[in-house]
Amino acid sequence: MTYVEGFVVAVPTANKEAYRKHAADAAPLFKEFGVSRMVEAWGDDVPDGKVNDLKGAVQAKPDETVVFSWFEYPDKATRDAANEKMMSDPRMAAMGGDMPFDGKRMIIGGFDSIVDDSTGGAMGYADGYVLPVPDANKDAYRALAEKASQVFRDHGATRVVEAWGDDVPDGKVTDYARAAHKQDGETVVFSWVEWPSKDARVAGWEKVMADERMQPDGSEVPFDGKRMIYGGFAPIVEA
């Protein structure tokens, strides 16, 4: 299944076009390295949380917007080889010297997909999620995610991906562990739901929330929902 390199970053809102161009210009290079799909999605509906949220995850300032993005690879070996090439390619070094955002606050990690359901079709909007799941609950989480994926796709979503943390490093300023308030014995999950448009997402969510399949069935939820952080994002680069 797909291997995912997931990113969350704070970008000065005034630098939106500069960021989009920076990412679009880099896309051919990433493809050369083995990236099969690259998505950069600009924060559109990113709520404040009571415990944590995506803004706090990257220490976003009032004049910054959260970007939720990812690379897709056919497997981990391709991703690992790509990262080696990126570290040694002088073109990457030149690109890194002119980034329109604070790279020190970007959180990054490698994730192995455990659910990847797609109906096909273009993506016009995405819901992005980061959450901690107890390691012992991995199978229960996958089963719940597979059930929810069917509901989302029945109500207009075109793809659901749930990716289990595999290579998620600690950072000096920010990282996924701090973003999700991860505890010992937990793993961070990076996931997203694709929709054909924001309108489809809004209409779809109303139907999802009303669907009886999403109602509690008496079994214990296999993660702490209070520490799940999420938001709605509009793609600005997809390559």
Q: Give tens-digit pLDDT for 163-193.
A: 999 999 999 999 999 999 999 999 999 999 9
Contact 86, 26 (CB under 8 A): no
Write the pLDDT tens digit of every residue in 213-227.
998 777 789 999 999
Q: Can you give the pTM of this predicted structure? A: 0.96
Length of the chain: 239
- Helix (H, G, I), strand (E, B), or coil: what is residue 169? coil
Spatial CA neighbour of 68 closest among 2, 128, 130, 131: 128
Q: What are phi and psi of 100, to 5 degrees?
A: -85, 35
Q: Name the residue with higher pLDDT: 50 or 96.
A: 50
